[in-house]
A and B are shown apart, each in its own frame.
Chain A
Amino acid sequence: MRIRAALATAVASAGILLAGWQSGAHIAETGTATTTSLNSSATSGGIAAGGTNSGGGTTATGPSSAGSGSSSGSSTGSTTAATYDGASVQTRFGTVQVQVTIQSGKITEVTALQLTDAERKSAQISSRAAPVLRSEVLQAQSANVQTIGGATVTSDAYLTSLQAALDAANF
């Protein structure tokens, strides 16, 4: 009786360990995804590159490295790259810190120095929708798309729609 109970416990523990191992592997995967999309979120201003630490005081540092400077002063303008470490920011997903590379006045690269405490939560950042400018969305003219998506049109509204023009062209 007691042996049977112990055996059952052992089997259950093994099951939990296995489940834990599997979810661990999953977390590792989503962790990678986070880095990529954190880049884009930060670029568009979704996540501030600076700010204050909840512990008090800013931890932002100045340029930590000077870039190539190869063509500095030339007619093509300055291409000096500088990297800035952002402050550690407390978000509702945990602590986030990013490093920004600025070249010719533009942010060219954003890397995550510190990701959130809860990696499962950080995966949510990766897929979150952030505000974007119209110019940041893949642009298209009605001439180079094959179909038009939009809120449902009535049969009458269809007649004067862009989709109708495409259909007519392909009839």
Chain B
Amino acid sequence: MQPTSNGQQLRARTFRSMGTVVSLTVVSLTVASNTYADTAVDELESAVEVVEGIFAKLDHAFSLYRRGSEASRLARGELTLADASETMRDLYAEASEWRLATEGAFTAERPDGRLDLTGIVKAHAVREAAMSLRALGLQDWCVNAGGDVLVSGSPDPATHDPWLAGILDPLDREALLGAFPLQSRKALATSGSAERGDHIWAVGGARPEFVQASVAAADIVTADVLATAIVAGGTRTLDLVAAKWGVAVLAVRPDGELLATPEFRSAA
């Protein structure tokens, strides 16, 4: 993106983790003096290193593609939850609470009964990354983990404009369905019924009522879990989610019909 007239520039770095690509974008000042620009780049390089480390560590423990991972050993029954790491137990507890709250639409158990926390671990990694970025003193940034977005501040701190996230059309991955300004709700997560690894299972094995659901919430785990729950649970869960959590939702039916809460409609 071109530097804006205010001398702000977005700088992005990416890394691969959890089977997808994570992008970290920060705002840096571009002033005539190269000193500032260099400092900003260094700041970004160290920030991305920290974030990548968080993802790598969690992926190492939670990946079901890695035979020797803690999660794989749990799934095979070689390790019991009681003997698992604190992070594993905490995330399991969190996933269980979400299962209750969403009336079973979100679950960390696969149809074969095996434990699979991969549906929540990516959002957890983003949440952890956010804490580190704040600790590093960064205020204006955007983390995009394979389509799930968490932002802080503004892409242009001079104007305080909110970060604007486009939402992909599930029927045409080069087109956007629309956009959402991440203002009071800083997190936007999207789940699809045909997504990687098919980690969403429609309740009762029925054909999903939605091919995609996007949820904007104050925090990334809530957004991610509820987007997943809506795709799995259909209209019933969509109504439950909108009423119970007050999040913004944009859902797409297989025929392309859209359902949206008021926040997703244009102001006009």
Contact = CB atoms under 8 A, between A and B. Distances in A.
Interface in B130-164: 142, 144, 146-149, 151, 155, 163-164
Interface string B166-203: 11101001101111110000001111101110000000
A150 B145 CA distance: 10
Interface residues of A, number: 46
Interface stretch (A2-10, A77-85, A94-102, A129-137): A129-137
Interface in A106-155: 123-124, 126-134, 136-142, 144-155
A166 interface: yes
A129 B236 CA distance: 11
A144 B2 CA distance: 11
Contacts of B19: 152, 154-155
Interface stretch (B57-65, B72-80, B88-96, B250-258): B250-258
- Interface residue tally on B, bucketed by range: 35 or more
24 contacts: A37-B262, A124-B243, A128-B239, A134-B178, A136-B266, A137-B177, A146-B25, A146-B142, A147-B151, A147-B163, A151-B196, A152-B122, A152-B192, A153-B147, A153-B196, A154-B20, A161-B173, A162-B168, A163-B144, A166-B12, A166-B23, A167-B13, A170-B1, A170-B11
Given A124-B239, A137-B177, 10 more contacts: A127-B243, A127-B261, A128-B243, A134-B258, A146-B10, A147-B23, A152-B192, A153-B146, A170-B10, A170-B11
